[in-house]
Every structure is written in C-alpha cells, then in structure tokens.
Structure 1
Amino acid sequence: MSEKNNRYIDPLTDFGFKHFFGSELNKEILLKFLNAVFEEKKEIVEVIFVPVEINRDKEQAKDVLSDLLCKEKNGKQFTVLIRRIEKESFRESSRKFMARFFKEAEAPDQKSPSAVKEHYLLGLIDFSFGDCEDMYYREISFAKTDLRRNPAGKLGFKFLEIPEFHKSAKALETDMDKWFYLLKHLRHLNQIPKKFQDESFRKIFEAAEVSALTAEQQAVYAADLKKRKHIFKIYDPDQAANEALQREMDEGNLDEESKAYFLEVFRMGYETGFEEGMLEIANEIGSVF
C-alpha cells in the first residue's frame, strides 16, 4: 500500500500530530497518551490547551506542537509541551524549553519555589541518538542539579526515540508500548491489530481514518505526506565513528596501531554524552537568569 493510499493518518506529520494531540475533538486520545507516557506516576484527568500567544514569542510559536496545562486527580497542575523534534533542532528545542522554565520561575508573581509548576518537555524524536541499543525511552530530570534556583522535581524531559522501538505487535505489553508502535507503524496498517481491540484504542483508529477527513483536510494531509520522506533520519554511530576516524587519519593525528582504540573511545562517548549534554544546556541557561 502506497503512502498516498494508506488507510490511517500518520501521527508524525504536522497534520497528524495536531489532529491527535492538538485538537479538542480528540482530547480523550491525548489524555490516554499522556497517562501512558507518565506510566501511572500521575493520574491526569483534564487537559487544557494553552494559547500559543500566552507563553511564546512568534519565533518560538513556529516550533510548538501542543502546549498543555494538565490537571491531576489530586488537584495539582503541571505544564507539558509536546513536540516532534528533529535532529537539527534538538539542542535548540531543549534550550528554549529550559529558558521558558527559568523565566517563569523568576516571574514577580512566583512568591516561592514551591509555587512554580512542574514543567515537562515531551519530545517525539525522529532520529536515533545512536548511543544505546534499544534505548527508545529516555526520562531526564534535574533533581540533583545544583542550579541557583534548584528546580528539583520541577523540570523534566521525556524523549520517545521512535526509530529505536523494535517490538512486534505480538510483543506489546504496556500502553506505552502500544503508543510507540502506533507512532511508528500506524500509517502502514490497514486493519486494527489484535493487541488494540479494546474500546479506548479502537477510538484512536476511528479518529485516524483518512477517509473520514473532509476534502480540505485531506488536501492538507496529502501535502504533509510529501514531507514525510525527510522524517526519521537515523544517526548511525558506526558511520559517525568511521567518519571521525577517517578525518583524524587524513590529518595525520592517528597511526594504524591507534585506530582500534580511537573507535572504542569514540563509541563509549555516546553512553555519557547525552545526559552530559543536557546538563551542559541546563547550566548555560541557569547562568543567564
């Protein structure tokens, strides 16, 4: 089945993401997605879409997919910014999100650190970091980071590294697994798999029917599909290591005996590079405010 004739909407196109996660009509689906991602650590019962102009300047607004105020069953509120993040914009996206948190924490109406709402960036990653095999979900917080305002427990990142999810439909166990599977494979399906037969997931498939869109919506979606070939750029760590090795060899910095050691050290760097990079961004932002 060609992309053009697929039965279900691709949730990672601009149209698809807004359809599922930025629409009042499909707010029930959004609630199910958020509760799956937070894995019962929070029981979200209500979601409010925050108008872009309240929290963003015009430049930032172009990047926002869904800006949410979430309410838990216990009455607590927190903020979630959902984005589809591409390789070229990963660092800048994280930087802007942290800058927003510190800016709000410094606002005159924040009487104490406890008054600051929790902020989460939920990023759908369309490339592979390449540092860990089968590492498809990353959760990062700064509870141990000693910044000037010590945002312990108030700032968090959840990254869904979709290209690294390799479970088959039969191997899916949790709702989180099922969402990963849908994000990666929904556009290729032509029927509902057995693992998705419960009513709540069937509603997702009903909302995803391309045939149910208006003619105008289908035209917009078709235009988005043309961009689809640029999504999921896989970052190959072996290729990166070999390219770096070749540069060092060309510049005369390595001899034949050093090649194996260089490749080993280069690949090991990925294991710590990701979180250290996030801490670096946090400290850069913390020094500004």
Structure 2
Amino acid sequence: MMKAKYINPFTDFGFKKIFGEEASKPLLIDFLKSLLPESNIVDLTFKDKDQMGRTEEDRKAIYDIYCENNLGEKIIVELQKAKQNYFKDRTVYYSTFPIQEQAERGEWNYKLKYVYCVGILDFKFEEKVTNGEGEVIHTVQLKDQNNKVFYEKLKFVYLEMPHFVKSETDLANRLDKWLYFIKHLEDFQSIPEVFKDEVFIQAFEKAEIAKYSEAERHDYEQSLKVFRDNKAVYEYAVNTAFDEGKVEGKLEGKLEGKLERSMEVAKSAKQMGLSTADIIKLTGLSESEINKL
C-alpha cells in the first residue's frame, strides 16, 4: 500500500493542524463561511477552550475548536470520531458555556450574541434517508409548535461524513469541496485540479507530512495510532455485542443510548491500553464509570 502523503484530518493532530492553529485561520474562516454564510465572518479569534465553565467539572467539557468572529458571535467546532451515549445531550451541554460566558456584571439586558455548534461526524448519526440518499447536513434550531424558529441565535450544524458520497466531478459549491477535502485528504497523492486555488493549496501544504519536523511527525503518528485504535475498539465492541445478541434490530440507529454497548467499548479500550481521556471521548462514560470496569 502506498504511504500516505497527507495527514488524516480525523485525527486530533490532523484536525488541529488544518483548522485549529493561528496559521490555519484563513482555512477555518473559508470553511465556516461556506457552512454558515449567514454569520458574515471576516475574522476569527481563537478562545481558550480550557477555561470554559465555572467549576472544575464544567471545565472537562473541552471542544476541539472554540472561536469568536468579528461580530462577537461564538463558534464551537467539534470533531466526533465515534458514536457515543447521549451525543445530542453533550452537544447541547457544550452550547451552554459560550452562552453563560456572555453574562455581564451589574446591570445587563440579557442580549446575547449568536452561538453556532458545528459537529463533524465520522459516523452515521441518523438513519433518516431522503430521495434514496442519507442526509449529510443536519441543521437544528429551537422551533415552536408551528415549526417556526423560536430563537434564531442558537444553531447546531452536524455534518454526517459517511453520507457524503459525491465524486470530484459532482462538487457543486465551496462546501462540497471542503467536505470532499476532509473525507479524502489522506488518500490524495497530489492536489486535484478542483483544489487549485490559494486557500486549498495552503491547506494541502499544511497537511503534507514530509514538511513536518521530527517531533511533529512523532505527534502525528501517535495521534493516528489513537484514531485507529479507537476505530478498532469501537468496531470490535459493536460486532461483539451484535454477535452475542446484546443489540437487537438494525445496528445503526439502535446503538445510541445503550449503556451496555459503551461498557463493552470501554472494557475493550482499557484492554488495548487507551487512556481514560480517550475512552471518555470515545464512549461518553464518566471517569468514575470507567474506573469501575
């Protein structure tokens, strides 16, 4: 098998290298403008995601990217590599922190800035199918009983990457190009003609493994190992649970909310030597639940 020329963007290292560094800001802006055109992004400021929350327990809710645009609107971007229990609950919980931090001391009229929560999902989030194809983009807002938006300043956008199946010749817009880039980056050996513009050329340069220092290549290899281990553990646990009859019905759509499945994943992950932090992100279980296994 030919050795990869570019990094896997679904690894923690790869995602941060392409979108989460100061030098990567033009790439993140271009991606978010294609996904959230209504946000009018001109510039972004990375915020300290480790300082979110008022208590030590709250601060454990760490996102991959937390930034603020030129209008003061808050944007969370989270890369989720495997399905876990209470995933929807977790994303709603995350959205509360950029809301709470807007509180002002003294007299305050409670006027809030927009909050966007973007989830890039490397798994099938929903089984809903439209026109024979799974939906890639899920946009969620608070609505009333008449299906009218009740509060327009909070939006969740989930990108269900396994359902993105367009070929290079089918790419219709900027967002299509970004989704194609994210999904297939690790497979490219050269820059496809469709990406021959300044922003994407910069993205490919950021992603080229040969340009990294020895320390960066080591960090990437470690991140890639964790990514592959997590994938293997998840698939093993799902298949084991299915074979033993612990999960009934269709696999997809039936697993979410199954504590038993998460316990199986966590047990397998511990046996493979994954860290507690990685197991928490993989399964959604708490540290105390994992320590009891």
Aligned length: 238
1:21 and 1:118, CA in 2 relative to 1: closer, same or farther beyond 3 A? same
Deviation of 1:106 after TM superposition, in Å, equals 6.0
Calculate the TM-score normalised by the size of structure 1: 0.71
1:203 is displaced (CA, Å) by: 1.4
What CA distance in whole angstroms lies between the structure 1 residues aligned with 2:159 and 2:221? 25
The Cα shift of 1:101 comes to: 5.0
Q: Mark the CA change 1:156 to 1:162 in structure 2 (over 3 Å): closer, same or farther.
A: same
The aligned runs of 1:155-166 (5 Å cut-off) are 155-166=154-165
SS in 1 for 2:152: coil
1:83 paired with 2:69, answer no
1:116-141 per-residue CA deviation (whole Å, 9 max, x = no partner) reads 11111111112102422320111111
Asked if structure 2 preserves the Cα contact closer than 8 Å seen for 1:27 and 1:47, the reply is yes
How many angstroms apart in 1 are the aligned matches of 2:223 and 2:145? 40
Partner of 1:112: 109
Alignment of 1:158-237 (within 5 A): 158-229=157-228, 230-231=230-231
126-135 or 42-51: which moved more?
126-135
The equivalent position to 1:93 in structure 2, one of 90, 97, 115, is: 90
Paired with 2:114 and 2:166, the residues of 1 have a C-alpha distance of 32
Question: CA contact under 8 A between 1:136 and 1:160: conserved in structure 2?
Answer: yes
Q: How far off its partner does 1:144 sit?
A: 3.4
- Residue in 2 aligned with 1:283? none
Q: 1:102 to 1:50 in 2, by over 3 A?
A: closer
TM (norm. structure 2) is 0.70
| Map of 1:132 onto structure 2 | 128
SS in structure 2 of the partner of residue 244 of structure 1: coil
Higher helix proportion (structure 1 or 2): 1
What residue identity is the alignment partner of 1:138?
Answer: H
Tell whether the 8 Å contact from 1:63 to 1:83 is kept in structure 2 after alignment.
no
CA distance in structure 1 between the aligned counterparts of 2:64 and 2:247, rounded to whole angstroms? 34
Measured in 2, the distance between the counterparts of 1:118 and 1:145 equals 23
Which residue is equivalent to 1:253?
none
- Provide structure 2 residue ranges, at least 5 long, that are not aligned to the other structure: 255-293
Partner-residue secondary structure (3-state), 1:87:
coil
Alignment partners' CA distance in 2, 1:244 and 1:31: 43
Kindly tell me: are residues 70 and 143 of structure 1, through their superposed partners in 2, closer, same or farther at Cα, counting changes over 3 Å?
farther
Q: CA deviation at 1:88?
A: 1.0
Q: Deviations over 1:19-78 (max 9, x none)?
A: 12210011111111111111x32321110011124424555456311110111xxxx320
- Taking only the aligned residue pairs, the percentage that are identical comes to 26
After superposition, what is the alpha-carbon deviation per residue over 1:156-205, rounded to whole angstroms, capped at 9, x for unaligned? Answer: 10111111110011111111111111111101111111211122211111
Asked if 1:122 corresponds to 2:126, the answer is: no
Whole-angstrom distance in 2 between the partners of 1:61 and 1:49? 18
| Structure 1 contact 144–152 (Cα < 8 Å) conserved | no
Larger Rg: 1
Are the structure 2 counterparts of residues 109 and 217 from structure 1 closer, same or farther at C-alpha, using a change threshold of 3 Å?
A: farther
Q: Deviations over 1:244-279 (max 9, x none)?
A: 35xxxxxxxxxxxxxxxxx9xxx9x99xxxxxxxxx
Structure 1 position 27 matched with structure 2 position 29: no
The alignment yields a C-alpha RMSD, in angstroms, of 3.4
Distance 1:101 1:28, change over 3 A: closer
Distance 1:109 1:48 in 2: 26
**How many Å apart are 1:231 and its aligned residue?**
4.3
Question: Structure 1 regions of 5+ residues with no counterpart?
Answer: 246-262, 271-289
Structure 2 CA distance for partners of 1:208 and 1:67, relative to 1, 3 Å: same
